[in-house]
Structure 1
């Protein structure tokens, strides 16, 4: 068969950078703009090197990359050719529109529970232009010890060549689980063993795993109202019904739940710092909940997301530490104390459930990242975490005082601050004449991430309020932002 002749070879303009990379980009551009046509044979690497006055190795490097990406192909004994179908044509808008116009999936075919969760998520997302001022749920990111963490991470990296290739434990890195177990026993009164701990990628994965293990579509859970909107969204995506339970100064109203929704399969609660109102579940209600859950075969999910952010009083012992019946699944997280992108948390599950949770974690994502777990274990074992917690508590309390004093000075006619002794956000009730919609709209205009209380409500709440997160901002920034908001609202 007669071979196709080598096509006229266009002039290739080399730019800055490694020569091999320049050859790749110049030839790719010539292919895309049609100067090198599909199916045409290229000169040999030796000939092309002479034509371009560069080394043959540079030409070969460019060829190899183009072959790997599908722009060129080789035929034994015949040479190198431009591919008949180039990658860019396959992924072009024109190709997508002409080839797949009639085969796009219909949204009606998606999981209806997931459609509901998507709608709920879209409604709850604030339009804040990525500005974090007063963003709820963010800790003191500016005080994270980057240099120290970097040194520990480097040490783990240098010493973990074998572990990187062999680590595959769904429940987590054993030294980290041992450190968490010791720390939580001493600070939160947990009653647990390291084998009860499952390392997860944050609280949301903890809720997802618990839902998969303990609930089925159509089940009902108790959820604080107002309460954690992400938990509600997760339950919705699984077809789980969220029954709203009121919260008062003593936390979740356990008596209301028992009377109105005794058929629940799980109670989702934030007893140490009720989200978002900030109340603490009283000891009498904790004990009543545990007794009732045991007698009625109900599980309790204890989200202890904020227990370390207490400024004066000591927290009441965790539900898990009081639980004699193994009904509590305890969830903790490090992202508030570290930074939002630090996606490590943990579950403490009753011993009879360990194997089931282990399987659920494995089939979700196999296991959490090794390097972060090993570095965190070192961070805790050397005492850095405890010192970091003390530093963060002090800074947060100062920022809380600055924020509340600034509101009293500049916005007392608009906001009434709900006092709190813990947490990283405050709730402000609106004075007569102001609405959540108006306050949020004006705050967005100046780039503030103030949240309406209604975002977290299942049923209409009798009072209107807003939430302001303060932990991520230094005192000067906090005061300036409150003054700016006061000026904006006065116009």
Structure 2
């Protein structure tokens, strides 16, 4: 044995014997030397041989017979296919770009996140909720958090619900998959076009029949919905994603009446309803529903941060029991530690204070960005601002196609998304005006002037360089 390596002697002996057995250097049922003889032969201690034999015994390479010793288990020769011997070194993942500036709609600003408060509350969870942390939690999530969310949506979104109607999940995508499982086979679901592409991907992956429906100036087209007659529709009425339209009450009533008459469901994705500028919060579609046809999806990804991975779903009362029966053996996929910490954050008022602080911060960023865009692009830009959410739409004159704009943005290290990311089919590039989604949560306010100049180079200036 080599004594100049960092590996224990018994591990070296164990690996050598294992390798010889797999290479068929030992016969089936062949008796191994006694521990004393093996130690003498290998010039190692008896304890090292004992440890190596015990490891081989635990893994099933050898067996023992009382008062006779250790014997080699019968082992078939392991089949090795040369074509399957691809190493991870040959795998090339998509290279991540280190962007200088970001207009991403997917991020949040965590510069003001109350880290000290969160840490203190987490410590309290360990002290006061050890019974939760040491066992598998309720599939719907801890009742304390569901009670806090019920109060939160009551005064924020006008939703009156029982905590038992609330389901906690690791994201709206995960909750949507659970929701699909609740519905009947061959269900047909309508989605907004343009709309949230990840929902479309989930529907495709679950082989759910998906029908895209276009938008008008009030949101998703009710006339097209009536033609399609789906079993359910997914909508973003408080701030249509990505176009930003706020669905008026007339369209909301039309949707609810259609759902009641056809016994269909409306899945309301209320992804960033907390952020409204210069207007009060708009009541949720769920709050209008009197016939239990709306299923509500909410998230803390926008108000706190995506990495928290906590969202929630509010089911109509008649679906609650079905969910419980169908998921009675399911282990929750969210962090119970984060869930209990979030409950304390909400319960003790820290969440509401943080939300007000972020509302002011995002409001300043948004106003500054809009002003900078108007000064830089002048008549070449149309800003479609609905005074809500963490992004808005711009239409800007550009000689480039959408594909060229996306490629140039990467070249200029500017994180930027065009409308083609959200359309079921890519738009033709005939028009000189291009639609871009401009997020402002991740960018710092002092970066805005330079970021807008970089944007101008990407979409207008053919000779621009970094």
TM range (shorter): 0.7 to 0.9
1:187 correspondence with 2:153 = no
Deviates more, 1:329-338 or 1:394-403: 394-403
How far does the alpha carbon of each residue in 1:99-143 deviate from its partner, in whole angstroms, 9 at most, with x for none?
899xxxxxxxxxxxxxxxxxxxxxxx9975375833322222333
1:231 correspondence with 2:216 = no
How far does the alpha carbon of each residue in 1:201-242 deviate from its partner, in whole angstroms, 9 at most, with x for none?
21112211222212422x432221111111112222333333
Q: How many residues align?
A: 445
Check the 8 A contact 2:136/2:331 in 1, yes or no: no
Shift of 1:356: 1.2
Q: Structure 1 residues 197 and 25 mapped into 2: Cα distance closer, same or farther (>3 Å)?
A: same
Structure 1: gaps (5+ residues) = 1-9, 16-20, 102-124
How far does the alpha carbon of each residue in 1:233-260 deviate from its partner, in whole angstroms, 9 at most, with x for none?
22223333333333234222223422x3
TM-score (norm 1): 0.78
Aligned to 2:443: 473
Q: Structure 1 residues 126 and 280 mapped into 2: Cα distance closer, same or farther (>3 Å)?
A: farther
The match for 1:380 among 341, 346, 349 is: 346
Provide the C-alpha distance between the structure 2 equivalents of 1:185 and 1:45, rounded to a whole number of angstroms.
75
Q: How does 1:155-234 map to 2 (within 5 A)?
A: 155-217=124-186, 219-234=187-202
Aligned to 1:152: 121
Shift of 1:73: 7.3
Provide the C-alpha distance between the structure 2 equivalents of 1:227 and 1:419, rounded to a whole number of angstroms.
17
1:268 correspondence with 2:237 = no
1:291 correspondence with 2:282 = no
Aligned to 2:363: 397
Provide the C-alpha distance between the structure 1 equivalents of 2:178 and 2:262, rounded to a whole number of angstroms.
22
Aligned to 2:277: 311
Q: How does 1:110-129 map to 2 (within 5 A)?
A: 129=97
How far does the alpha carbon of each residue in 1:115-174 deviate from its partner, in whole angstroms, 9 at most, with x for none?
xxxxxxxxxx99753758333222223333233222212221233333234443122210
Q: Structure 1 residues 126 and 475 mapped into 2: Cα distance closer, same or farther (>3 Å)?
A: farther
- Secondary structure of the structure 2 residue equivalent to 1:143: coil
Aligned to 2:423: 457
The match for 2:317 among 345, 351, 361 is: 351
How far does the alpha carbon of each residue in 1:368-414 deviate from its partner, in whole angstroms, 9 at most, with x for none?
44222211111111111111111221221222233333333445576
Q: Structure 1 residues 33 and 169 mapped into 2: Cα distance closer, same or farther (>3 Å)?
A: closer
Shift of 1:75: 6.8
Shift of 1:22: 4.1
Check the 8 A contact 2:38/2:49 in 1, yes or no: no
TM-score (norm 2): 0.82
- Root-mean-square deviation (CA, aligned residues, Å) is 3.8
Check the 8 A contact 1:171/1:361 in 2, yes or no: no
Q: Structure 1 residues 296 and 70 mapped into 2: Cα distance closer, same or farther (>3 Å)?
A: same
Provide the C-alpha distance between the structure 1 equivalents of 2:413 and 2:56, rounded to a whole number of angstroms.
46
- Secondary structure of the structure 1 residue equivalent to 2:308: coil
Check the 8 A contact 1:413/1:431 in 2, yes or no: no
Provide the C-alpha distance between the structure 2 equivalents of 1:251 and 1:36, rounded to a whole number of angstroms.
66
Shift of 1:455: 1.8
1:246 correspondence with 2:231 = no
